Protein backbone atom coordinates (compact mmCIF):
# COMPACT_ATOMS: atom_id res chain seq x y z
CA UNK A 1 0.00 0.00 0.00
CA UNK A 2 1.30 3.46 -0.88
CA UNK A 3 2.71 5.37 2.08
CA UNK A 4 3.44 9.10 2.32
CA UNK A 5 3.93 11.90 4.82
CA UNK A 6 1.93 15.11 4.56
CA UNK A 7 1.24 18.15 6.69
CA UNK A 8 -2.29 18.56 7.98
CA UNK A 9 -3.68 22.00 7.25
CA UNK A 10 -6.92 23.89 7.35
CA UNK A 11 -8.79 25.21 4.32
CA UNK A 12 -11.90 27.15 5.23
CA UNK A 13 -13.53 25.14 8.02
CA UNK A 14 -12.09 21.82 6.83
CA UNK A 15 -8.95 20.01 7.92
CA UNK A 16 -7.12 18.13 5.18
CA UNK A 17 -3.90 16.83 3.65
CA UNK A 18 -2.73 16.69 0.03
CA UNK A 19 -2.10 13.28 -1.53
CA UNK A 20 0.95 13.13 -3.86
CA UNK A 21 0.21 12.92 -7.59
CA UNK A 22 2.49 9.87 -7.84
CA UNK A 23 -0.04 7.96 -5.73
CA UNK A 24 -3.33 9.23 -7.19
CA UNK A 25 -2.12 8.82 -10.79
CA UNK A 26 -2.24 5.04 -10.28
CA UNK A 27 -5.87 5.15 -9.08
CA UNK A 28 -9.08 5.27 -11.09
CA UNK A 29 -11.40 8.22 -10.31
CA UNK A 30 -15.18 7.82 -10.29
CA UNK A 31 -16.84 11.09 -11.32
CA UNK A 32 -13.59 12.83 -10.40
CA UNK A 33 -13.40 11.43 -6.88
CA UNK A 34 -11.29 8.52 -5.63
CA UNK A 35 -12.65 6.27 -2.87
CA UNK A 36 -9.86 5.14 -0.53
CA UNK A 37 -9.21 3.34 2.72
CA UNK A 38 -6.13 3.35 4.85
CA UNK A 39 -4.57 4.75 7.99
CA UNK A 40 -3.33 8.05 9.43
CA UNK A 41 -0.55 7.36 11.95
CA UNK A 42 -1.96 3.84 12.18
CA UNK A 43 -5.59 4.98 12.76
CA UNK A 44 -7.92 3.41 10.13
CA UNK A 45 -10.26 5.41 7.90
CA UNK A 46 -12.47 5.12 4.81
CA UNK A 47 -12.70 8.38 2.86
CA UNK A 48 -12.98 10.00 -0.56
CA UNK A 49 -10.18 11.96 -2.21
CA UNK A 50 -11.48 15.15 -3.80
CA UNK A 51 -9.89 16.78 -6.85
CA UNK A 52 -8.73 20.40 -6.57
CA UNK A 53 -8.09 22.33 -9.78
CA UNK A 54 -4.38 22.76 -10.38
CA UNK A 55 -3.45 20.98 -7.13
CA UNK A 56 -3.13 17.41 -5.82
CA UNK A 57 -6.14 15.44 -4.65
CA UNK A 58 -7.24 16.46 -1.17
CA UNK A 59 -7.98 14.09 1.71
CA UNK A 60 -10.27 15.59 4.33
CA UNK A 61 -9.37 14.55 7.87
CA UNK A 62 -12.22 15.00 10.35
CA UNK A 63 -11.90 15.58 14.10
CA UNK A 64 -12.44 11.93 15.16
CA UNK A 65 -9.71 10.83 12.73
CA UNK A 66 -7.34 13.54 13.98
CA UNK A 67 -7.97 12.44 17.56
CA UNK A 68 -7.59 8.73 16.76
CA UNK A 69 -4.39 9.42 14.82
CA UNK A 70 -3.06 11.56 17.69
CA UNK A 71 -2.27 14.45 15.35
CA UNK A 72 -3.35 18.04 14.77
CA UNK A 73 -3.31 20.93 12.30
CA UNK A 74 0.26 21.91 11.44
CA UNK A 75 1.70 18.47 12.17
CA UNK A 76 3.03 16.02 9.60
CA UNK A 77 1.23 12.68 9.62
CA UNK A 78 2.02 9.32 8.05
CA UNK A 79 -0.67 8.15 5.61
CA UNK A 80 -1.11 4.72 4.07
CA UNK A 81 -3.87 4.54 1.46
CA UNK A 82 -5.23 2.21 -1.17
CA UNK A 83 -8.14 2.58 -3.52
CA UNK A 84 -11.39 1.19 -2.14
CA UNK A 85 -12.45 -0.87 -5.14
CA UNK A 86 -15.77 -1.81 -3.55
CA UNK A 87 -16.93 1.77 -4.13
CA UNK A 88 -16.26 1.73 -7.88
CA UNK A 89 -19.45 1.53 -9.88
CA UNK A 90 -19.93 -1.37 -12.23
CA UNK A 91 -19.07 -0.54 -15.82
CA UNK A 92 -21.58 -1.82 -18.37
CA UNK A 93 -20.40 -2.93 -21.80
CA UNK A 94 -22.10 -2.50 -25.12
CA UNK A 95 -23.80 -5.63 -26.45
CA UNK A 96 -22.86 -6.74 -29.98
CA UNK A 97 -26.50 -6.30 -31.07
CA UNK A 98 -26.60 -2.69 -29.83
CA UNK A 99 -23.22 -1.88 -31.44
CA UNK A 100 -24.38 -3.42 -34.73
CA UNK A 101 -27.55 -1.27 -34.75
CA UNK A 102 -25.58 1.89 -34.00
CA UNK A 103 -23.19 1.05 -36.85
CA UNK A 104 -25.97 0.21 -39.31
CA UNK A 105 -27.67 3.54 -38.58
CA UNK A 106 -24.32 5.39 -38.56
CA UNK A 107 -24.76 6.82 -35.05
CA UNK A 108 -22.01 4.98 -33.14
CA UNK A 109 -19.89 8.14 -33.24
CA UNK A 110 -22.84 10.13 -31.83
CA UNK A 111 -23.30 7.60 -29.03
CA UNK A 112 -19.59 7.81 -28.20
CA UNK A 113 -19.91 11.61 -28.05
CA UNK A 114 -22.40 11.34 -25.17
CA UNK A 115 -21.01 11.84 -21.67
CA UNK A 116 -19.62 8.67 -20.10
CA UNK A 117 -22.35 8.86 -17.44
CA UNK A 118 -25.10 9.03 -20.09
CA UNK A 119 -23.54 6.11 -21.99
CA UNK A 120 -23.41 4.04 -18.80
CA UNK A 121 -27.04 4.87 -17.98
CA UNK A 122 -28.16 3.64 -21.40
CA UNK A 123 -25.96 0.52 -21.30
CA UNK A 124 -27.15 -0.28 -17.78
CA UNK A 125 -30.79 0.00 -18.81
CA UNK A 126 -30.26 -2.16 -21.89
CA UNK A 127 -28.42 -4.80 -19.83
CA UNK A 128 -31.66 -5.65 -18.04
CA UNK A 129 -33.66 -6.15 -21.26
CA UNK A 130 -34.08 -9.88 -21.90
CA UNK A 131 -36.26 -10.08 -25.00
CA UNK A 132 -34.67 -9.22 -28.34
CA UNK A 133 -37.94 -7.64 -29.51
CA UNK A 134 -37.88 -5.24 -26.54
CA UNK A 135 -34.17 -4.52 -27.04
CA UNK A 136 -34.74 -3.58 -30.69
CA UNK A 137 -37.65 -1.31 -29.71
CA UNK A 138 -35.48 0.60 -27.22
CA UNK A 139 -32.48 0.68 -29.54
CA UNK A 140 -34.76 2.15 -32.24
CA UNK A 141 -35.74 4.99 -29.90
CA UNK A 142 -32.10 5.62 -28.99
CA UNK A 143 -31.10 5.69 -32.68
CA UNK A 144 -33.88 8.22 -33.45
CA UNK A 145 -32.77 10.47 -30.62
CA UNK A 146 -29.11 10.26 -31.68
CA UNK A 147 -30.05 11.13 -35.28
CA UNK A 148 -32.00 14.13 -33.95
CA UNK A 149 -28.83 15.30 -32.17
CA UNK A 150 -30.13 14.77 -28.64
CA UNK A 151 -27.46 14.61 -25.95
CA UNK A 152 -29.64 13.99 -22.90
CA UNK A 153 -31.18 10.70 -24.01
CA UNK A 154 -33.54 9.09 -21.53
CA UNK A 155 -35.10 5.67 -21.88
CA UNK A 156 -37.63 4.06 -21.74
Q: Which CATH superfamily is domain 3-83 in?
A: AF2212/PG0164-like (2.40.30.100)
- Per-residue pLDDT of 51-64, as tens digits, reads 999 999 999 999 99
Domain residue spans in the chain? 3-83, 96-148
Question: In whole angstroms, what is the distance from residue 118 CA to residue 125 CA?
Answer: 11
Model confidence band, residue 155 (pLDDT cutoffs 50, 70, 90): confident
CB 24 within 8 A of CB 33: no
Mean local confidence (pLDDT), 78-98: 83
Amino acid sequence: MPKFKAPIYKTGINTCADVPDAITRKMKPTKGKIHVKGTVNGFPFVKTLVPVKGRPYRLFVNAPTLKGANTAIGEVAVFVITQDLHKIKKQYTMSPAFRRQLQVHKVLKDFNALTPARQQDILKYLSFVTKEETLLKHVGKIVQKLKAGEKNIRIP
